[in-house]
Amino acid sequence: MNDINPTISFPSPAAAAYAEVIMALALPKTYTYSVPAHLMGKLQKGSRVEAGLGKNKRYAGIVKRIFSEKPAGFNPRDIYAVLDEEPLVNERQLQLWEWIADYYMCSEGEVMAAALPSNFKLSSETIVVYNEEYGENFSELEHDEYLVAEALLIKKELKLTEIQQILDVSHVYPVVKRLIEKKVCWVWESLKEKYKPKFDTYVVLNEIYRDEEKLEALLNDWGRAPKQLELLLGYLHLQKTDGEVTQSELLKKSGASAAQLKGLESKNILRLEKRRMDRLPQLAPQVNIDFELSPAQLVCFEKIKQHFAEKPVCLLQGVTSSGKTQIYIKLIEEFIKSGRQVLYLLPEIALTSQVIRRLQKHFGGYIAIYHSRFSSNERVEIWNKVRHNEVKVVIGARSSLFLPFHDLALVIADEEQDASYKQQEPAPRYNARDAAIYYASLFDANVLLGSATPSIETNFNAVSGKYAKVELNERFGGIELPEIKLIDTRKVVRKDRAKVMISPALQEAMEDSLIRKRQVILFQNRRGYSPYLICGVCGFIPHCTNCDVTLTYHKMMQRMQCHYCGTTYPKLITCPACGSSKWVERNFGTERIEEELREIFPKTRIARMDMDSVKGKTAHDALIQQFEQQSIDVLVGTQMVVKGLDFDHVSLVGVLDADGLLSFADFRVNERAFQLMEQVSGRAGRKKEKGLVLIQTSNPEHPVLGFVQNHDFESLYQFELVGRKNFFYPPFSRLIQLVFRHKTKDDAESAANFMANTLKIEFGSYLVGPAEPVVSRVRNQYLYELLLKLPRDGSVIRHCKLVIQQQMAIMASDRKFRTVDIVPDVDPI
């Protein structure tokens, strides 16, 4: 299927032309510009243009539409320049941006800001220009002004960064302002292209000496300059072993100097060539499938293909370790052979290094990886490879959805239930899984949603017939699902009455696993040492000064940290209320568990996997590989240990605090707790032997724990449907949440009430609130929330969104409410 790039039909030279341009700004609508006659033949839909906005600012925008009717009510400004010879964004991407903006109630500029790599979003940089009419008499200028004026006289133009270097200070705006007022200079805004290709210098042997006889004669007749001869021999050796030789590699391995290499170049023996390089290592494209599907997998594989002929979206529900990834690989193989493109979405790219390694093993250079941990230049290069159809399979997190696919045929959304697919801050607050289904429809492509524990909404769509569904209910290799046992922590007596961390039953099971040289995973969904400290005398609890939350104690850093705004504080030695130094630690996080384990098992190799211990581009992958190679015996972690991991030697998994998972004030709490416990239990016993999962809880009678014990997703689904229907929650309704944020509580509350009073007129029966959330202040902003539970009726939902947007515009123009930040969140997670 060819990309949609219709030829633009321009008006005749006598007629005017106009362009609708998307800027990477939160503007309520796209802005229209006039197209000068000299740019008419260059302008294309999807290309970047340089255009002005405001008094002096210039931005790079994307052309959305070209037309001939002059807009009513204002005179458009001219576009300054066209920045791309060919469109950067294709027709389907523009349709996706428009759909996301409309559905998730944000601007197309905000979608553009999220979609494009930062190096495509040009920055406006101030240039200071010398005023020739001022002359050269600087006697009336102050010292700092004189230095800048002298430099301007010589160079004519200076960037602000250059002025900072001249004055050796960072704050130069007052000096520049005075020079402008004295008419020594003026400023203009210049757009700066951030992306720069990478080049490397290669060393090449002159064509004459590629003849063996002439090369031999050269070496035999060598006179002086023994160091140059040594360098030449080193080059010939490297060229034979490595093929192509870079200058840096040659000088490093030979120990020679650049001057010696220059000598060989001047003698016309070696030649230096600058070549444009890929920043990312390139593997050779290959298709190497070294496994066969099991009978059960093969049945699922054929059913999926049959369903794709009838319905574009299919849910693959397969128990943990059933081999869903192998089915994905077989599907990808078929699409690669047909020459079409595949997008493989993963909830968090940093947590799925195993999947990436597996796919690269099977497909080599056909695979490209795209995520936010790559540098801006790396992301630009992947973008261009996808745009030019040089890449067949992209593995990525939610941002990879915005890549310029040429011929997309299949989207795989692995772990489709994962909340990480939903963007939280800033806008657009889109769900990549749902947006991918729309994007795929523009290509007539298929979507495969994979999960052991699908979301209630996705399963509802499958059961009701909107999606097809295929089930894989046995583990690969015939291994049984792990046995799950509940440990009642009420029966464990502790002298200090503290919460049970490692119960005797869990400790005994760990000892047994370690004796048998097996590995253990312990899951606790709280990082840090202690979730909060409390004064043992007066009960004072340290809170964040910016947020209404307690501070988490991190013992290793000897700091307390707010996990909402990130602010850190020194650990309190004495209580500010009563002066006591008797602090009591409440509950426990992964750091404290690690410390306790080192005391119980001093000779055991223990590691921790959470946001504090795993930092950097490759840290997570390095830790995973250590665990795979059995260099670690016990792995303690948060949700990081749940997702996308496949280990051969784990026999025991411990869930240390199930009560913490089941105690959130959220209608999805049961669903989320089941998913997390079922997913982490699936890490046990994946090869050779049946695994064991121990769940510590003070409420073993909770129905969700019974579903987990029996690996019974269907019972959880039926249980949840009853509650959701009674209280009109998804999948029976659609949610829109409005959050009001302001530095003063009264203003946030007043704005929420004003909006609520308007919405009550038409949507009163669907409205909940306004109310303060559980955490009512974050980053010194007070919060109030409204929730709309709307029927699954497209016309009602569209009308409600329109009313909300109209009301937000009215409030933005009202002096009383204009400083209140109103955040609409469609389908909140």
| pLDDT tens figures, 105-124 | 999 999 998 998 877 776 66
We report the CATH number of the domain holding residue 505 as 3.40.50.300
pLDDT classification of 2: cutoffs 50, 70, 90 = very low
**Range 690-702 average pLDDT:** 90
Residue 474 resides in a domain: no
Phi-psi region of 73 (alpha: psi -120 to 50; beta: other; left: phi over 0): left
With beta carbons less than 8 A apart as the criterion, state whether 360 and 393 touch. Answer: no
With beta carbons less than 8 A apart as the criterion, state whether 18 and 100 touch. Answer: no
State residue 327's pLDDT score: 94
Phi-psi region of 222 (alpha: psi -120 to 50; beta: other; left: phi over 0): beta
Predicted confidence (pLDDT) at residue 331 exceeds the cutoff of 50: yes
State residue 355's pLDDT score: 81
DSSP secondary structure letter of residue 566: -
pTM of the model: 0.79
Say how far apart CA 399 and CA 805 lie, in whole Å: 26
Do 22 and 102 lie in one domain? The reply is yes
pLDDT classification of 388: cutoffs 50, 70, 90 = confident
More confident residue, 752 or 555: 752
Residue where one domain finishes, among candidates 572, 587, 602: 587
Residue 475 resides in a domain: no
pLDDT classification of 281: cutoffs 50, 70, 90 = low
DSSP assignment of 283-299, as one string? Answer: PPB---------HHHHH
Phi-psi region of 410 (alpha: psi -120 to 50; beta: other; left: phi over 0): beta
Do 677 and 772 lie in one domain? The reply is no
DSSP secondary structure letter of residue 10: P
Residue where one domain finishes, among candidates 542, 558, 587: 587
More confident residue, 708 or 182: 708
In terms of Cβ atoms closer than 10 Å to its own Cβ (0-12, 13-18, 19+), residue 338 is exposed
Residue where one domain finishes, among candidates 248, 277, 306: 277
**Range 130-149 average pLDDT:** 87
State residue 754's pLDDT score: 94
Residue 99 resides in a domain: yes
Residue 545 resides in a domain: yes
pLDDT classification of 751: cutoffs 50, 70, 90 = very high
Instruction: Give me the residue label for tokens 């950097």.
Output: 616
Do 714 and 611 lie in one domain? The reply is yes
Number of domains in the chain: 7
More confident residue, 391 or 106: 106
Helices and strands in the chain: count of H runs, count of E runs: 24, 34
- 150-206 per-position pLDDT tens digit: 999 988 888 877 888 898 876 677 788 788 878 888 776 566 555 566 677 888 888
State residue 749's pLDDT score: 94
- 20-29 per-position pLDDT tens digit: 999 888 888 8
State residue 497's pLDDT score: 63
- 781-826 per-position pLDDT tens digit: 999 999 999 999 999 999 999 999 999 999 988 888 989 999 999 9
State residue 766's pLDDT score: 94
3-state class (DSSP) for residue 571: coil
Predicted confidence (pLDDT) at residue 392 exceeds the cutoff of 50: yes
We report the CATH number of the domain holding residue 169 as 1.10.10
Predicted confidence (pLDDT) at residue 780 exceeds the cutoff of 60: yes
Sequence-distant (≥ 6) Cβ neighbours of residue 472 within 8 angstroms: 296, 297, 300, 316, 317, 318, 319, 322, 323, 324, 327
User: What percent of the chain lies above the pLDDT cut of 90?
Assistant: 36
- 215-257 per-position pLDDT tens digit: 877 887 787 778 888 888 888 888 877 677 888 888 887 778 8
Do 704 and 799 lie in one domain? The reply is no
Do 270 and 301 lie in one domain? The reply is no
Do 185 and 257 lie in one domain? The reply is no
Range of the domain at 629: 483-493+500-527+589-723
Do 463 and 328 lie in one domain? The reply is yes
More confident residue, 42 or 428: 428
- 604-619 per-position pLDDT tens digit: 998 888 777 776 666 7
State residue 4's pLDDT score: 41
Predicted confidence (pLDDT) at residue 620 exceeds the cutoff of 90: no
Do 403 and 424 lie in one domain? The reply is yes
**Range 405-420 average pLDDT:** 93
Residue 728 resides in a domain: no
Do 512 and 649 lie in one domain? The reply is yes
Segment of 185-194, 385-394, 702-711 carrying the highest mean pLDDT: 702-711
Residue 288 resides in a domain: no
Do 544 and 581 lie in one domain? The reply is yes
Do 682 and 795 lie in one domain? The reply is no
Do 371 and 464 lie in one domain? The reply is yes
We report the CATH number of the domain holding residue 745 as 3.30.70.600
Residue 290 resides in a domain: no
State residue 384's pLDDT score: 87
State residue 737's pLDDT score: 96
Say how far apart CA 156 and CA 140 lie, in whole Å: 20
- 232-242 per-position pLDDT tens digit: 888 888 887 76
Residue 700 resides in a domain: yes
Task: List beta partners, residue 192.
Answer: 123
State residue 350's pLDDT score: 59
**Range 298-316 average pLDDT:** 94
